[in-house]
Amino acid sequence: MEQENDFIQREIKKIILFFESLLSKLSGASSKTEQSIINNFDTELKEKLSVGFFEMLSLENNDLKLRIKEVDILILENLVIVLYEIYKNKNLIEDKFNLKRILLIIIDRIEYKSRTFSLERQKIKNNLKL
């Protein structure tokens, strides 16, 4: 049982490192490499969470909720940060409406599962609702 928990924790850390790496790439990316980064993000996300970025954009609300239902809160927290950075960048994606919808659904799920208040998460949520 303890080995299983250790494995799960290592996998969570790998996914979080992936998100952190993506954030650093996005912050220094030129417009030519931005789309490549998003395409790689889509592929990696699909491998790690069984749902890709572009697939998320097309999912209905209930389908998305089912897909993220069992995802660890730490992963969802980091996913929100990455998705919000993508949302803020005017050149990365045209479908801002669905990205905003996804972000709000994920934030609602985190708030439902977590007992910890996050000022950063609340700021993101407030900015999205403007």
How confident is the model over 4-48, as pLDDT tens digits? 677 777 887 888 788 878 777 776 666 667 778 888 889 989 988
Q: Is the pLDDT of residue 112 over 80?
A: yes
Least confident of 3-12, 82-91, 119-128: 3-12
pTM attached to this predicted model: 0.85
Q: Which long-range contacts (CB under 8 A, 24 or more apart) does 93-101 make?
A: 93/38, 95/57, 98/57, 98/58, 99/57, 100/128, 101/61
What pLDDT shows up at residue 14? Answer: 80
What secondary structure letter does DSSP report for 115?
-
Rounded Cα–Cα distance for residues 12 and 15 (Å): 5
Q: Where are the domains of the chain?
A: 2-128
**Averaged pLDDT, 45-53:** 90
> Of the candidates 109, 107, 98, which has an alpha carbon nearest to the alpha carbon of residue 126?
107
Distances (CA, A) of 60 to 72, 89, 99: 21, 24, 12
Q: Please tell me whether residue 46 adopts helix, strand or coil conformation.
A: helix
